[in-house]
A and B are shown apart, each in its own frame.
Chain A
């Protein structure tokens, strides 16, 4: 079965750029999306179709996808961005989530 691999944790200083990777076989041939989940809350879509931001998502969130890796980038990271982030893609009509990355802003 298809797998997406994310680093368990990423740390970033306020105002700096955070990058979260998501790796899967030929992931660049698929579309990747990203969800943000804060403690006790439901996931929120922050990037779809590799790099598109839904309405209401700040411009500091961006995405890319090429080769075997999709990347979520948060520029000028703020304390409010501290959360778990999950990548997601489709494979053979099934949904696959990455294991999630805890972003710590310190």
Chain B
């Protein structure tokens, strides 16, 4: 069965850095686009970034562009999110999600991990 397990969250000071990881299993990781989605405490879902299956293309939300970098290692079935220049407003649970891409822009997130909490505070 598909499993996505995030790790790497924790407490970090404003301006600091953190690297999140997502270990994937139960499917052919290299066949799928992957994404990070976050949820601030008590708030809604916010898309952060996605990356192509071959690691050749990535897109970011304006709120994180220039500060966050998504990457993947298909040999290790792993997805990463390097977060730099962290701000208090980046405090959230970060979910790793598999992106199902169909024809005609039929794209949706069909599997989600359990999330990892990032807290940015002094």
B47 lies within 8 A of A35 (CB): no
Closest-by-CB residue of A relative to B96 is A42
CA distance A96 to B106 in the complex (A): 14
CA distance A95 to B62 in the complex (A): 11
In the complex, chain B residues whose CB is within 8 Å of the CB of A31: 104-108
**0/1 per residue, A38-72, Cβ < 8 Å to B?**
00001111001100001000000000000000000
CA distance A33 to B109 in the complex (A): 9
Partner of B108, one of A42, A49, A99: A49
In the complex, chain A residues whose CB is within 8 Å of the CB of B37: 95
B45 lies within 8 A of A94 (CB): no
Distance (Å) between the CB of A83 and the closest chain B CB?
13
Closest-by-CB residue of B relative to A50 is B106
Partner of A100, one of B45, B62, B114: B45
Interface residues of A in 1-57 (CB under 8 A from B): 1, 30-31, 33, 35, 37, 42-45, 48-49, 54
* Known pairs A90-B105, A96-B47 / 18 extra A-B pairs, C-beta < 8 Å: A31-B104, A31-B105, A31-B108, A35-B45, A35-B109, A42-B112, A43-B109, A45-B109, A45-B110, A48-B100, A86-B44, A86-B45, A88-B45, A88-B108, A90-B107, A93-B59, A98-B44, A100-B45
Kindly list the 9 A-B residue pairs having the minimum CB-CB distance in the complex, ordered from nearest: A95-B47, A100-B44, A48-B108, A42-B112, A33-B108, A97-B45, A99-B44, A49-B106, A86-B45
